[in-house]
């Protein structure tokens, strides 16, 4: 025990040195083992069969590219009218009228419902004979005359050579009491025309027009050139009527509007 007490430090130092020597001797083997383990791990990783990655899902990206190639067009005009609001007007019956193209009210909204031709007509109505010769009764009808009293049919008595405000009777062919044909010259145009008992003379001189203006519930029958119309807060005059159109002129600014007649 005395030996241990006297030499325990040396003994302890010897044990420590022995352990260090043992560790130094064992260390190369440990390093070699670790290196082998690392080599095996590296070889296993390198030579391990690679499992292919699943294909990428590029659906969202493809849809985004497609939207860029075909941009979405927003219609703010004909749907919600965000930048082009619709005008509305109230008719006399309190019905709201949607103004989209400007033709719903005003002179453009007037519709032609009927156009009737007006004729200048001559007829050989009868023949009167006496000791002085034959006198012919010729009916005259001026449907397009400006004054109403001038439009009714009137009879004119004329012998060959007579002249009046309508015609001049130039000649009569056939028997005096039963002529086959009369030859006349019209006073207004100088035109030579023929007239027989069974064939009256007809010349187109104008037209009548029936019109309506639906926003105010107005209708006008048998309107002629020069007639006045009042609607949409303005006065209009009919300045022309043809076979398929009527021309209106506003008295306020003389602006003309042409209405087309659709007979279908």
- Mean pLDDT to the nearest integer, 207-223: 93
Q: For residues 248 and 229, is the Cβ–Cβ distance under 8 A?
A: yes
pTM of the model: 0.62
**Cα–Cα distances in angstroms (integers) from residue 73 to residues 60, 166, 171, 246, in the given order:** 21, 70, 80, 42
Rounded Cα gap, residues 19 and 26, in angstroms: 10
Q: Is 22 helix (H, G, I), strand (E, B) or coil?
A: helix
List, for residues 65-124, the tens digit of each pLDDT value.
887 887 777 776 666 656 666 677 776 667 777 766 666 788 988 999 999 999 999 999
Backbone torsions φ then ψ of 73, nearest 5 degrees: -100, 120
List, for residues 21-34, the tens digit of each pLDDT value.
777 777 777 788 88
231-238: long-range contacts at Cβ-Cβ below 8 A with a sequence spacing of 24 or more? 231/110, 232/105, 232/106, 232/107, 232/109, 236/107, 238/209
Under 8 Å CB-to-CB from 231, ≥6 apart: which residues? 110, 213, 215, 216, 218
Q: Is 206 helix (H, G, I), strand (E, B) or coil?
A: strand
């Amino acid at each position: 025990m005395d030996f241990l007490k006297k030499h325990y430090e040396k003994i302890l130092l010897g044990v420590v040195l022995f352990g260090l020597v043992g560790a130094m001797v064992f260390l190369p083997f440990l390093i070699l083992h670790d290196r082998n383990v690392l080599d095996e791990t590296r070889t296993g990783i390198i030579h391990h069969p690679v499992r292919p990655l699943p294909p990428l899902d590029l659906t969202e990206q493809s849809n985004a590219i497609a939207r860029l190639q075909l941009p979405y067009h927003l219609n703010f005009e004909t749907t919600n009218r965000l930048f082009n609001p619709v005008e509305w007007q109230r008719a006399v019956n309190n019905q709201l009228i949607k103004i989209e193209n400007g033709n719903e009210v005003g002179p453009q909204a007037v519709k032609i419902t009927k156009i009737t031709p007006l004729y200048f007509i001559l007829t050989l109505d009868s023949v009167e004979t006496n000791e002085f010769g034959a006198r012919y009764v010729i009916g005259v009808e001026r449907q397009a005359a400006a004054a109403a009293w001038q439009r009714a049919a009137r009879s004119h008595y004329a012998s060959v050579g007579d002249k009046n405000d309508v015609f001049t009777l130039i000649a009569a062919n056939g028997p005096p009491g039963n002529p086959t044909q009369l030859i006349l010259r019209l006073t207004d145009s100088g035109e030579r025309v023929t007239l027989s008992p069974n064939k009256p003379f007809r010349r187109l001189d104008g037209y009548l027009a029936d019109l309506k203006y639906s926003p105010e519930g107005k209708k006008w029958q048998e309107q002629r050139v020069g007639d006045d119309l009042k609607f949409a807060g303005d006065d209009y005059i009919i300045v022309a009527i043809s076979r398929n159109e009527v021309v209106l002129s506003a008295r306020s600014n003389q602006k003309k509007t042409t209405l087309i007649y659709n007979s279908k």
